[in-house]
Amino acid sequence: MKQRKFGYKATYLQGRHLIAIFLDPTILQPPVCHPMATATLATPRFLTSSPPAPAPARVRRRKTKHFLRPACAYALQEGQSRRFHRLPCGLDLEVIEQRPPAPGERPPLVFVHGSFHAAWCWAEHWLPFFSRAGFPCYALSLRAQGESSIPQEAVAGTLEKEVPLPPVLIGHSFGGLIVQQYISCLQGSELLHPNLAGAVLVCSVPPSGNSGLVWRYILTKPIAAVKVTLSLAAKAYANSLSLCKETFFSPQMDDGLVLRYQALMKESSKLPLFDLRKLNASLPVPSVPESITKILVMGASNDFIVDSEGLSETSRFYRVQPVCVEGVAHDMMLDCSWEKGAEIILTWLEKLTP
């Protein structure tokens, strides 16, 4: 019996390119034991200077483009695999996959990271946790993040991923904004954007973007506003243990782990995910009917980036009750109490897919 495959595409404007984690219901091939991830992206315009016209008898050969692949020294755990998928333009995209011990009918979980992170941030704790619970797990690295190739543009771009069933999309921080944009594409375009099994927004940037967060910090927490600006906009988190810890992790997080993750963050992000001016100009995310898909909105009580009002804004937008996880920070999937958020998501998934 043939099973339908879906290629998942959440659209988001990223500079001049469209991010895609997209759904294509026309793929009707039977599943294989290890479904390959495929990837497409808007081909960058490689502009080369034109030399004087050669003599008619001379044959000109097109030069081969070589793309750098950043070195992000993350060692995979048992049961995990890393794949590199060549795009038509020559770029490679990284996918870290972890399958459950036994095959089943539970929906795949597709994890989308935020700024300064990559697929490795999910592979550390949450991929093993959810795969043990029976969910096939796929963590993606956007272009120029993790071990995905570096394009020649100023910002990262587009990707596509094939999974055997409609997935649950799980997005963190700016990755949550990508998931939100995909959700907004579900209405009225079933052929291009089939329904998801569900979506989880983890410490997500709210539908209006980060401008509201910035202004609230400036007006109510000026010292915190300076620290966030230094840490993220100026990338000072990369060279300061204390600032990195305060920005992403709980105070009780082990300094050795913070240093390890700090190094991975520095290695992971070669280009910014977004042109923030163009991003904010495209917001807010279009509203959707309440019945479009099941959505879990989660925040963290110790989040230094997305405040409680940002969490409330996202939950009001989707007309759901927010869940604020106590005792964890912005990087909920890496923090010392990472199990708290994972267990809440698992409980929600169990109700979603008994």
Tell me if 216 is assigned to some domain: yes
What pLDDT sits at residue 145?
Answer: 53
What is the 8-class DSSP label of residue 39? -
**pLDDT tens, N- to C-terminus, the chain (354 residues):** 444 444 444 333 332 222 333 332 222 122 222 222 333 222 222 222 233 334 444 444 444 444 455 555 688 999 999 887 766 767 777 889 999 999 888 999 999 998 889 999 999 999 999 999 999 999 988 755 544 445 545 444 443 445 567 889 999 999 999 899 888 887 765 545 567 899 999 999 999 988 888 888 888 888 888 888 888 788 888 899 999 999 999 999 999 999 999 999 988 877 776 677 777 778 888 888 877 889 999 999 999 999 999 999 999 999 999 999 999 999 999 999 999 999 999 999 999 865
Can you tell me the distance from the alpha carbon of 155 to that of 269, in angstroms, rounded to the nearest whole number? Answer: 11
Element (H, E) at 277: helix 276-281
Torsion region of 79: left, alpha or beta (phi above 0 gives left; psi -120 to 50 gives alpha): left
Q: What angle do CA 135, 197, 299 make, to 5 degrees?
A: 80
- What type of residue is 172? H
Tell me if 270 is assigned to some domain: yes
What pLDDT sits at residue 190?
Answer: 53
Beta strand pairing status for 17-19 and 12-14?
Answer: antiparallel
Residue with tokens 């989308």: 112
Can you tell me the distance from the alpha carbon of 344 to that of 125, in angstroms, rounded to the nearest whole number? Answer: 14
CATH code at 233? 3.40.50.1820
Tell me if 46 is assigned to some domain: no
DSSP code per residue over 223-263: HHHHHHIIIIIS-GGGG-HHHHHHHHS-TTS-HHHHHHHHH
Tell me if 26 is assigned to some domain: yes
Can you tell me the distance from the alpha carbon of 109 to that of 168, in angstroms, rounded to the nearest whole number? Answer: 5
Cβ within 8 Å of residue 92, ≥6 positions away: 67, 69, 84, 85, 86, 147, 148, 149
Residue among 173, 166, 206 nearest 311 (CA): 206
Q: How far apart are the first and last CA of the chain?
A: 23
Report whether 335 contacts 329 (CB < 8 A): yes
Q: What is the three-class DSSP state of 340?
A: helix
Tell me if 269 is assigned to some domain: yes
For 237, how many CA atoms within 13 A lie in the half-sphere containing its CB?
29
Task: Report the number of distinct structural domains present in the chain.
Answer: 1
pTM: 0.77
Tell me if 123 is assigned to some domain: yes
Report whether 100 contacts 136 (CB < 8 A): yes
Tell me if 74 is assigned to some domain: no
Q: What is the three-class DSSP state of 9?
A: strand
**Boundaries of domain holding 314:** 1-41+82-354
DSSP code per residue over 70-111: -----PPPTTEEEEEEE-TTS-EEEEEEE--SS--SPPPEEE
What pLDDT sits at residue 269?
Answer: 76
What pLDDT sits at residue 306?
Answer: 95
What is the 8-class DSSP label of residue 148? S
**What's the residue count for the chain?**
354
Tell me if 102 is assigned to some domain: yes
